[in-house]
Chain A
Amino acid sequence: MLLDMILNKYPAQEDSLIEILLEFQDAKSSHFISEAEVKQIASYLQISEAKVCSVISFYTFFRTEQKGQHIIQVCRGVPCHVTADINIVKIIEKELGIKVDETTENKKFTLEYTSCLGLCDKAPVMRIDDKIYTNLTENKIKAILAEYRVYN
C-alpha cells in the first residue's frame, strides 16, 4: 500500500530509482527495503532486480534488513580517525554491548560506520538518525546515549 502510493508519484523510469528508495525507506516504519519490495520497484521501473540491488548495495544509507530504532553512524573518514585521541567506536561498542553492524537486543540502537560526513573541522563526528554530534569525547558520547535511552 505504502509502496504503491509512493511508486505512483514517480514516473516509471530508471532515474526515479534513488528517489523512490529514499522516500520509501524513510516512510516505512521499519526503515528497510525487503526483497519483495525490491521486486515490486524493479517491476514498476521495468529494470532488473539485480540493478535495484546494485544501487542499494552501493550506498551505505540503504538497508535490506531491519535495524534498530536509532542508527548510530560513526564517521570513518581519515580526519575523524586521526584527530581523536579516543576510539569512538570502542566506546560506543562498550556502552551498548554490541559490535559494528549489530543491533542491540531491545532493537533500540544499530551501530554502523559511514563514509565522511563533511565535518572534518569538528572531528570526531557521529550521526544518530538525522542528527550530527561533533567534537566527541568519552563523556559526551555517554551523555548523548543516556539521553536517547531515556527520552527517545
Chain B
Amino acid sequence: MAKLRINNIDIEVEDNLTILNAAKKYNINIPTLCNYPDLHINSECRICVVEIEGRKGLVTSCSTPVRDGMVIKTNSPRVLNARKTITELILANHDSNCNACAKNMNCELQNLSSVLGIDKSRFESTLEIAPIDEDNPSLMRNPNRCIKCGRCVIVCKEVQSTNVLELMGRSHALTVTPAFGKFLSSEECTFCGQCSSVCPVGAIMEKDETDKVWAAINNDNKRVIVQIAPAVRVSLGEELGMAPGSIVTGKIVSALKLIGFDDVFDTDFTADLTIIEEGNELIQRVTTGGTLPMITSCCPGWINFAEQNFPEILPNISTCKSPQQMFGALSKSYFTEKVGIKKEDLFVVSIMPCTAKKYEAQRPEMSVDGKHPDVDVVLTVRELGKMIKQMGIDFKTLEDTKFDNPFGITTGAAAIFGNTGGVMEAALRTVYEVVNKKPLENIDFKDVRGLDGFKETTVNLGGMDVKVAVVHTLANARIIAEQIKNGTSPYAFIEVMACPGGCIGGGGTPYGTNTSVRQKRIDALYEVDGAMAIRKSHENPSITKIYEEYLIKPLGEKSHHLLHTHYHARKVKHNEDKKNVMATY
C-alpha cells in the first residue's frame, strides 16, 4: 500500500495503481481523451497531466504509478493552464463544426472543452481537409475529426489482432489510416466496429441509415417490419438514460410501434431456428464424418475475418445463416406468402448491436430472389436510440408490449445468443436432448459462461465425450483458427464471437462499454433466460409449427435454400502479389 496526498486529501491505495486510477477511487476524475478502461495505456493525448511536488515537469497521471509520500495536485492553476493549452492545440487541428456532427452532446472532446471553459481558441486552425471514408456499408471514418488518441489503433491491433488502422507519419502530420491511406473497404477490415465504440469523438461511427427507415415507414405502399437482436434488449436502455443492464424488451416493442413499424418481431425466434439447423448440422457432421470442428456462423465480423485470413478453415464454419439473415429470408418467403403481399412491398429492418451486420445484410447471397436484399436496412442500437429521441418518445415510462406473431414466441436459449458462450449453451441444451433422447438434468452450462477469453467444456453425446470451446475477440479467434489450420484442434464444436463479451459488447452498442458494463448486460441476458417459460430451442412451439407448415425438416431442401449459405476466400493471394513485384524489376 502507498500513502500519498492528492489535492490535500490523504489517501492510501495499492502500489501498482496509476495516479489516474488512485484519484478515481477517491472520487476525483482526472480528464483524459486517450485512456480507456480495458485498453492499454498509451499516454497519447497528455490531457491527464498533474503536478507532483518536487518534480520539475507535469506528468501524465494515466501512466505514472503512485509512490509512497507523493504530493499530487490534479487541478492547480499550472495544471489547468497546461490542460487548456493542450485542448486548444487539439482543437486547432480538429473540425469543430459540432452542430454538424452526429457525436454532438456525446463527444469526449466537446465535453472536455466545455468543462475547461474554452471560449475561443488562441490558435489558428491548421486543419487540412482530408476525404471522408464511407464507401463501405458499415462504418464512416472522418479524419478531419480525428484527435489521434490511438484508441482505435489499440483496439484494432490488440483486441481484434486485425491491425487495419495504424498511426501514420509523426508530429503534426500524424494521421490514423489503413495502409497507404486507403479506405476501409479496400483493407482487411471486418467491420466489427470496435473502433467506433471507443472513439472519443465523431471520427469513426456507424453509417447512419435512419433516413432510409423513416422514408420506408412513411411510404404507405410498404409494410415495414422490424426484428430486434437479443443484445438490444439489455443495452438500448443506456442510450436513453437508464442503467447498464436494464432489461427493456417490452418498452422497445412499444417504442417501435410508436415509431410506426407495422410488425415488431424478435430475432430470438430465428436464433431458436438457428439452433435447430446448426444442432442438426453438428449431429450430421459428427455421425457422417463431416469436417470438424464445426464453428458457429452467427457473427458477421468473424465470418469476414475468416474469409480474409483463414480460407483453409471455411469448410469448418457452419453453413447456417445468422439469425438476422434467417429472419430476413423467412420474411421474404414464408411471411410474404402467409400475409399475401409482394416481396418488393415488404421492408425488413433489423436492430443490431453490430456494425458488421450492415455489411452482412448487403452480401449478394443474402437474397432469396436474387434481386432484393432480405434485410433492407440494419440499424445499430445507437441509431435506434436516435430514432426514439427523434420521435420524442418518453422511453423510461413506456408500458410493455408483446412481440407480434408469427416470429414472436421465443426461448431463454435464444436470449443468451447475445453473449459469449450463449450460442454454445443454447446448442448444447438442444443437441444433448436430441442425441441422448433424455432430458438434461441441469440446463445451465456454467463452464462456457463469463468473460474469460477462452472457455471449454466436455459434454457426453451418445456415449461419446465431446470437447467444445468458446472464444470471443478476434485475437482469440485467430488462435483457435491457427489450431484448426494446423490440425491440432481437439474440439468438435467452437463458438466464436468477434467482439469482447459477445454481441452485448458489439461495435454498435451504446458508448462507454467496458468490462463492468459488459458483465451487467450479460447478467441481464441470463436473467431474461431464467425468466422464460421455455428455455430450450427445440421446445419452442412456433419453431415446431414453422417446420410443419413450411420448412418440413431441418437441413431439408427448403432449409438449404433459405437458411444456409456459403463462404468465399477474399484475401488477395500473396502469390499474385509476387508476380507484380517481379514485374517491376
A50 at the interface (CB under 8 A from B): yes
| B166, A39: Cβ atoms closer than 8 Å | no
| B169, A57: Cβ atoms closer than 8 Å | yes
* Alpha-carbon separation in the docked complex, A52 to B170 (Å): 14
Our pick among A36, A52, A58, A64 for the contact of B581 (Cβ within 8 Å) is A36
Which stretch from B140-148, B157-165, B236-244, B433-441 is at the chain A interface? B157-165
Our pick among B167, B179, B580, B585 for the contact of A48 (Cβ within 8 Å) is B179
Chain A CB within 10 A, most for which of B187, B580, B581: B581
A52: chain B residues at CB < 8 Å are 179
Chain A residues touching B, majority SS: helix
A38: chain B residues at CB < 8 Å are 179-180
A51: chain B residues at CB < 8 Å are 163, 166
B584: chain A residues at CB < 8 Å are 34, 36
| B577, A36: Cβ atoms closer than 8 Å | yes
| A54, B574: Cβ atoms closer than 8 Å | no
* Alpha-carbon separation in the docked complex, A51 to B165 (Å): 8
Which residues of A21-55 have CB atoms within 8 Å of chain B's CB atoms?
34-40, 43, 47-54
| A40, B574: Cβ atoms closer than 8 Å | yes
| A50, B163: Cβ atoms closer than 8 Å | yes
Our pick among A35, A48, A57, A58 for the contact of B163 (Cβ within 8 Å) is A48
A54: chain B residues at CB < 8 Å are 166-168
A14 to chain B, nearest CB (A): 11
* Alpha-carbon separation in the docked complex, A37 to B169 (Å): 19
A1 at the interface (CB under 8 A from B): yes
A48: chain B residues at CB < 8 Å are 157, 162-164, 166, 179, 188
| Known pairs A38-B179, A48-B162; A53 contacts B578 (CB<8 A) | no
| A50, B582: Cβ atoms closer than 8 Å | no
A3 at the interface (CB under 8 A from B): yes
A35: chain B residues at CB < 8 Å are 180
* Alpha-carbon separation in the docked complex, A65 to B180 (Å): 11
* Alpha-carbon separation in the docked complex, A35 to B582 (Å): 13
A150 at the interface (CB under 8 A from B): no
B179: chain A residues at CB < 8 Å are 38, 48-50, 52-53
* Alpha-carbon separation in the docked complex, A9 to B342 (Å): 64
B191 to chain A, nearest CB (A): 16
B178 at the interface (CB under 8 A from A): yes
B169: chain A residues at CB < 8 Å are 57-58
| A3, B168: Cβ atoms closer than 8 Å | no
| Known pairs A48-B179, A49-B179, A53-B179; A40 contacts B577 (CB<8 A) | yes
* Alpha-carbon separation in the docked complex, A47 to B163 (Å): 8
Interface string of B155-196 (1 = CB under 8 A from A): 001000011111111100000011110000001100000000
| A43, B574: Cβ atoms closer than 8 Å | yes
* Alpha-carbon separation in the docked complex, A142 to B435 (Å): 88
* Alpha-carbon separation in the docked complex, A4 to B168 (Å): 26
| A50, B165: Cβ atoms closer than 8 Å | yes
B178: chain A residues at CB < 8 Å are 50
B585: chain A residues at CB < 8 Å are 1-2
| Chain B residues engaging chain A, CB cutoff 8 angstroms | 157, 162-170, 177-180, 187-188, 572, 574, 577-578, 580-582, 584-585
| Chain A residues engaging chain B, CB cutoff 8 angstroms | 1-4, 34-40, 43, 47-54, 57-58, 64
Give the 6 A-B CB pairs with smallest separation, nearest first: A48-B163, A49-B179, A50-B166, A54-B166, A36-B580, A50-B179
